[in-house]
Amino acid sequence: MTHTTKIILAGEGGQGIQTIAKVITEVAAAQGMMVSYIPVFGVEQRGTPSVALIILSNEEIFYPRFDNADYAIVLQKRAVSSVESYLHNKTKIVFDSSTIGAENLPKEAIHRFGIPATQLAAEKFTPKAFNLIVAGKLSQVLNLDEDRVWQKIEKLLGKKFKTTEIREKSKQAFLFGRQFVFELKHFSKPIFQPATGKIVSKNAEKTALIDPERCKGCGICIVKCPVGALKFSDTLGVFATPVPEIDLEKCIACGNCFRFCPDGAIAVTKNKKFK
Amino acid sequence: MLNTIPKSWNSKLKPHLFCPGCGHGIAFKQLGFAIDGLGLQKEITMGVDIGCSLLAWNFLDVPTIQTHHGRTTPLLVGYKMVRPKRIVISYMGDGAAWGIGLQNIIHAAYRNNPVTVIVINNENFAMTGGQASYTTLPGTVTPTSPIGKSPELGAGFKGPELIRNVAHKEAYIARSTVANPIHLLSTLKKAILSQKENNNFALVEVLSICPTNWKTNAKASLDIAIDMEKVYPIGEVR
Amino acid sequence: MTEKLFITGNEAAVRGAVDAGAKIMFGYPITPATEILEGWIAKTVIDKNLQFLQTEDEIAAGFGVIGAVLGGAKAFSASAGIGHVLLQDPISMAENMRLPFVGIMMQRGGPSTGTVNFSQQEVNLAIHGGNGDSFRIVYSASSVDEMYSLVIKAFSAAWKYRFPTFVLGDGYLGKMKATVELKKPLKSVESKQILSESGSPTWLRNCFSSEEELNTLLQSHIADWEKNKNKIVESESFHTNDARYLVVAHGIVASAAKETILKMRSERIRIGLFRPITLNPFDGEALRTIARSAKHIFIIESAYGQLGKIAKAELAGHGIKAKISQISKPAEGFTPDEIIKEIKKHNA
């Protein structure tokens, strides 16, 4: 009997979607399954959703793309639209409930499985380990051998585990993901969503404006601030990366952050009285 | 309300599609201020290439044409001949300028075509994944130089210096950097005015940063750009 | 208002461009098209409204043409052989962006640098040389007169329908002299700025991030092509009313065939010539109408089946009973007597 599983995996560019896909498919292939994997890509390196299409089967796979997914894994709000056309009434949709509100899922997404990976990573491990939690859970759902999967993760991501501590935390995150029980009815609140509007801070002398709809969390403003008035906050910007916050008391309104910001997401000015 | 972007930016492109920390963003910031400061928004026509600069096809509130790789300059040369009052900016990366488009830049400079060429140099072919380019330094590991770029492939291509040799003596040829936005702003203004006031060719190479392909954080990226000045000196090329 | 001149095909092409309202030419010297560049440059000396640029290569020439049409000026290039190959880089962009790119291509022997003289081997290149689905208008000139009139038509078609448009000639046509009566057209199609400078900014690109976006664009090109191709298509039927034998040929080979037809008709042989004037779009309907009553069709060209492939595709599936013979002589011309010999050989 033919057993074929069609999976679409979608998230923000830079979230490690293709890495998760590589881990899953290379282990599945080593375990003897017929596997197909193709990334869906456009010109941009970042800035558009990263999507992977995976097929696992016990029979020969001819074509890497498909219309209807058995599993849709969505890890960022902006990526929901990338999976929409692949949903049908049997699709199981696995979503990061800490970044996507269940109410933002398309109505075709009947079978919902929540995993607040971003929140779990930030609270229990390291923020960057969020995709390891997802990879862990996914590998469990697809019956992939735990040890093989971890070995593959080490092989593909080993360079990023710069200290033993990071490596340990990463492994814990992966194992945690494997054991995680999906949220089925009551989902976490999507508190890790990109902010909208503008963040204005004002004191007697200066006014600062930060635009999370433009900020990509590159950190250049923090590096170029001569007085250390900027640091990353908990607010997320448009690519779900942290947006800086400003300490107006330290700030000297030198204009460096404004000059250097590649996205035009920050400006500070001296209030009229003090100019 | 505080303005965080130049007036000549397309404010509806939010966010723009360059990577986090991309040097193009910093270059466009200063280019935008240059255009605003000179009051030339209504006179500018922009050409962009097919590399990462392609993402700027709708970046500025000016007529813009995205071309084939390396072909922005010859296109704008032809355009300027029939629209001589327009100020044309030929914007591309180091891959486009110093390789496939080099022939066209050399000849535009040689003929003193009144075009302002801006070359964003991040020492790699970024859009396609970071392959070695002509300005990649020897020893650098890239997808096409997995054991480090061979010194036999050149010590670092100095484009503006080459162009200086064929350009009209009054053409403005210079190099600046995203690590010094104030210098970048004044350099870009001079390059635009070289065309507008003197009807001369102008070329500015801008040392830039590419955190995505360099796999560096903000500080390391800017440090590399500053380090590059040892090989690619900043300032006017006389 | 007509004028009688004894000029070469290349000179006629220059006159055509001038009378069509062309304002600027970009080109590179290459035999047998060089006289078009030189002739145009001579015009710019007399008329200061005309411009030219001798570029560093044909790629720069083609992009110069694109820049000029974006700026609203009628612009063109002329080339041949490998120059025609290099022009495919800019022509592909013009195809994607529906730009009124006009090119005069004087075929020479190929592939590679072949010969400088003559061939009909650039038909595939002229129609299909890009990396897309080939929405270009291609005319084939068969006389010095047509080197004038088709160049004018090319500018009209390009600006009216917004497809890159080409006039295919060849080295014989370019260099031969004949007396021609130039009929200047009464009205020409206006050019306009494509990179518009007022109102909301024009942002033009040819690269898209998703397959769907590009497909949508191409569907609109297809719709325009299908809607207009019957207005663009042109052909000539020479002594075909009662023809049992039909020659299919284009360009100067068709002109040689005309002499053949007249000779054979004087021997009471019922033979005619179908000459496509547009190679793309191709007047398949006219061909089929004539072919229905033919016994034997002879496709004759100085290439290996480039015209033949088009003609056969147009004839297939329509119940045409005629025998079809393909007579190919890549890179070499046919005299009228040679054509008689070939026809008799294939009809034996």
pLDDT digits (tens, 9 = 90+) for A196-212: 999 999 999 999 999 99
Q: Which residues contact B151 (CB under 8 A, 6 or more apart)?
A: B138, B139
Which residues of chain B approach chain C closer than 8 Å at the C-beta?
10, 42, 45, 50, 54, 57-58, 60-68, 71, 74-83, 86, 103-104, 106-107
Residues 107-136 of A with CB under 8 A from C: none
Q: Does B222 touch chain A (CB under 8 A)?
A: yes
Please state the separation of Cα C41 from the chain's center in Å.
23
Q: Three-state SS for A49?
A: coil
Structure tokens given for A117: 């990976």
CB contacts, 8 Å: A45 with chain C:
none
pLDDT in single tens digits along all 348 residues of chain C: 677 899 999 999 999 999 999 999 999 999 999 999 999 999 999 999 999 999 999 999 999 999 999 999 999 999 999 999 999 999 999 999 999 999 999 999 999 999 999 999 999 999 999 999 999 999 999 999 999 999 999 999 999 999 999 999 999 999 999 999 888 877 889 999 999 998 888 999 999 988 999 999 999 999 999 999 999 999 999 999 999 999 999 999 999 999 999 999 999 999 999 999 999 999 999 999 999 999 999 999 999 999 999 999 999 999 999 999 999 999 999 999 999 999 999 998
Structure tokens given for A11: 């998230």
A188 secondary structure, DSSP code: P
The kind and range of the H/E element at B60 are: none
Across the interface, of B20, B182, B222, the residue whose CB is closest to A216 is: B20
Handedness of CA B138, B142, B148, B150 (dihedral sign): negative
**Inter-chain contact B181–A219, Cβ cutoff 8 Å?**
no
**What is the residue whose two structure tokens read 């966010």?**
B15
| Distance set, CA A121 to CA A19, A115, A116 (Å) | 17, 11, 9
CB contacts, 8 Å: B102 with chain C:
none
Across the interface, of C64, C73, C92, the residue whose CB is closest to B77 is: C64
Output helix, strand, coil percentages for chain C, rounded to the nearest 5.
45, 20, 35
Across the interface, of C51, C196, C202, the residue whose CB is closest to B81 is: C51
The mean pLDDT of A14-31, rounded to a whole number, is 93
**Inter-chain contact A48–C209, Cβ cutoff 8 Å?**
yes
Residue type, position C96, single letter: N
Gyration radius of chain A's alpha carbons: 21
Question: Are the C-beta atoms of residues C250 and C142 closer than 8 Å to each other?
Answer: yes
Q: How far apart are CA C132 and CA C141, in angstroms?
A: 25
CB contacts, 8 Å: C213 with chain A:
none
**Inter-chain contact A44–C209, Cβ cutoff 8 Å?**
yes
Q: How far apart are CA A168 and CA C320, in angstroms?
A: 78
| pLDDT score, position B220 | 98
pLDDT over 70 at A274, yes or no: no
Give the pairing of strands A34-40 and A50-57: antiparallel
**Inter-chain contact A216–B29, Cβ cutoff 8 Å?**
no
Q: How far apart are CA A263 and CA A189, in angstroms?
A: 29
Q: Three-state SS for B236?
A: strand
Beta bridge partners of C95: none
pLDDT over 70 at A275, yes or no: no
> What is the residue-averaged pLDDT of chain A?
93
CB contacts, 8 Å: C65 with chain B:
78
Residue type, position B27, single letter: A
**Inter-chain contact B66–C89, Cβ cutoff 8 Å?**
no
| pLDDT score, position B121 | 98
CB contacts, 8 Å: A214 with chain B:
4-5, 14-15
Q: How far apart are CA A139 and CA A146, in angstroms?
A: 7
**Inter-chain contact B4–A264, Cβ cutoff 8 Å?**
yes
Give the pairing of strands C24-27 and B235-236: unpaired
**Inter-chain contact B83–C71, Cβ cutoff 8 Å?**
yes
| pLDDT score, position C185 | 78
Q: How far apart are CA A171 and CA A177, in angstroms?
A: 10
Residue A209 Cα, gap to closest chain C Cα (Å): 28
Residue C71 Cα, gap to closest chain B Cα (Å): 5
Q: How far apart are CA B201 and CA B94, in angstroms?
A: 18
| pLDDT score, position C1 | 61
CB contacts, 8 Å: B96 with chain C:
none
C181 secondary structure, DSSP code: E
Closest CA relative to residue A200, chosen from A190, A189, A191, A208: A208
pLDDT over 90 at B191, yes or no: yes
Q: How far apart are CA B181 and CA A157, in angstroms?
A: 35
Q: Output B228 or A241, whichever has higher pLDDT.
A: B228
Task: Give percent of chain A with pLDDT exceeding 90.
Answer: 79
CB contacts, 8 Å: C205 with chain A:
none
Q: What is the ipTM of this complex?
A: 0.97
The predicted-structure confidence for A116-137, as pLDDT tens digits, reads as follows 999 999 899 988 888 999 999 9
C190 secondary structure, DSSP code: P
**Inter-chain contact A47–B217, Cβ cutoff 8 Å?**
no
Residue B124 Cα, gap to closest chain A Cα (Å): 14
Which residues of chain C approach chain A closer than 8 Å at the C-beta?
207-210
Closest CA relative to residue A122, chosen from A162, A74, A173, A161: A173
Residue B82 Cα, gap to closest chain C Cα (Å): 6
Q: How far apart are CA A143 and CA A28, in angstroms?
A: 9
Question: Are the C-beta atoms of residues C130 and C95 closer than 8 Å to each other?
Answer: yes
Question: Are the C-beta atoms of residues B101 and B73 closer than 8 Å to each other?
Answer: yes
| pLDDT score, position B114 | 98
Residue type, position C348, single letter: A
Please state the separation of Cα A240 from the chain's center in Å.
7
| Distance set, CA C286 to CA A251, C139, C182 (Å) | 80, 16, 27
